[in-house]
Structure formats: structure tokens, C-alpha cells
Amino acid sequence: DTEVTQTPKHLVMGMTNKKSLKCEQHMGHRAMYWYKQKAKKPPELMFVYSYEKLSINESVPSRFSPECPNSSLLNLHLHALQPEDSALYLCASSQAREGPYEQYFGPGTRLTVT
Amino acid sequence: GQQVMQIPQYQHVQEGEDFTTYCNSSTTLSNIQWYKQRPGGHPVFLIQLVKSGEVKKQKRLTFQFGEAKKNSSLHITATQTTDVGTYFCAGKDFGNEKLTFGTGTRLTIIP
């Protein structure tokens, strides 16, 4: 199974809402990633988890809060977002953070902040 | 910080024509990966190059890694409508093992 799943597919939320994005992989990968992608732009790295510990935070605002409950799951908790946070949020996983390993991406959650 | 640029930004080709996208990094890379993202889709891994001067082929696609490990190219021979999408290179820095995506080249095919 080389699939990364993400839920929900689409999410519309107000600026005062709290919501969570979920990501799951069953490939035994030990690194998991959150990316943000705006239209016609490349994916931008937000967070990297390695062996369930946060190893990279790309200076992401605190209204985005990642969580890795176990080696298969990755969550992104959202609170008090701004309209400019509307984007496609992609989860990815790889065998490890260090080394020449490709990343497997999920289908993404398309987030609209109103 | 590391920057990875791709040219061209857009390419429209007639079906059957060849296509090339070029990728340039501001820093020396430990390896480079190529991904394809179809319209409305997510990035899908195509290939990885690790050695200086490496050339790899996948059917009609040819990938090259520069001698200085700072640039790469993807060449598609005789494009087909299924090749439509945005092609991203993504480079890994020696320092922090972070994968930085290039700016992407969007390929459209005129049937």
C-alpha cells in the first residue's frame, strides 16, 4: 500500500473556527510532512516530523499546530486562520528524513477561510 | 536560504513535439528529485538523481543531473496529451536534508 490519505478533501471555515486536518500512511514511513500550496506555486514546506518528533518548523504562525499521535498519523490543528491561509494543504511521507528517499503525497485538503 | 528556479515557467507544445525544463539551485545538492502534478492533483514522484553527471531514462523521459550538482533537466520526447501537468524539480541540501521545490514548469499540449 503506497497510499497517503487525507481528510477532509475540502474544508470551509470562518476565521474564528477551530478545525483539524488529518493524514494517514501505512507504509511504515518514519518521516511525515505538511506542505502548503497556493495556486500555480510550488509546495512550501511547513513542518517535518521524524520518528514522531517535530524536527523542522519553517517559522509557521502559531495558528497552525501540528501533532503526530503515532507513526502512521499526522494532524494539523487550525485556529483563528486568516483568508490568506486559503490553500491546498498537502501531507507527505517518506522512509526517513535523512537520505535519498522520495516523498509520497496525499491528495490534499483544499481549505477556504472566509 | 536555498533557492531552486525552473525555466520556462510555462510551455505550450504541439502533440508530438519535444519538451525540456531546466532546474537551477543556488546551492550544491545532495540529490535531486522530479515530481509531476496533474491539474487538480497532487505531486507524484517521478525519479531521483544522486550522482554528479547522472542520466536516467524512463520511456520518453530523460533526466540529467549536472556535473556540479547544482542543475538538472527533464526532457520529454514526442509529447502526448497524458504529459500535461506541472513538473517540479526538488533539491535536497547537504546541510539540513530539507527538500526545496523548484518554481515548476507548466506543460500544456495542443492536440
Establish if B48 touches chain A: CB-CB under 8 angstroms. Answer: yes
Is residue A89 within 8 Å of residue A21, measured between CB atoms? Answer: yes
What pLDDT does A1 receive?
63
Nearest to A37, CA basis, from B51, B16, B40, B71: B40
**Average pLDDT for chain B:** 95
How far is the C-alpha of B111 from the C-alpha of B105, rounded, in Å? 19
Please name which of B35, B22, B102, B108 lies closest in space to residue B66, comparing C-alpha atoms: B22
Query: How high does pLDDT run on average in chain A?
Result: 95
Give the percent of chain B with pLDDT over 90.
90
Mean pLDDT of A31-38: 97
Least-confidence region, from A63-72, B23-32, B66-75, B92-101: B92-101
Amino acid, single-letter form, for residue B63: F
Contact (Cβ atoms closer than 8 angstroms) between residue B13 and residue B111:
no
Please write the tens of the pLDDT for every residue from A8-24. Answer: 999 999 999 999 999 99
> How far does the CA of residue A81 sit from the closest CA of chain B (Å)?
23
What residues of chain A lie within 8 A of the CB of B43, using their CB? Answer: 43, 90, 92, 103, 105
What pLDDT, on the 0 to 100 scale, is given for residue A2?
Answer: 67
Are A100 and B92 inside 8 Å of each other by CB?
yes
What's the whole-number mean pLDDT along residues B15-39?
A: 96
- Averaged pLDDT for residues B40-56: 97
Say if CB B14 and CB B69 are below 8 A apart: no
CB contact under 8 Å between B102 and A100, yes or no, is no
Coil/strand/helix, residue A23: strand
On the question of pLDDT at A112 being above 80, the answer is yes
Q: Is the pLDDT of residue A99 over 80?
A: yes
Q: What digits encode the pLDDT tens for the residues B61-92?
A: 999 999 999 999 999 999 999 999 999 999 98
Binary contact (B102, A42; C-beta < 8 A): yes
CA distance B106 to chain A (A): 9
Percent of chain A at pLDDT exceeding 70: 98
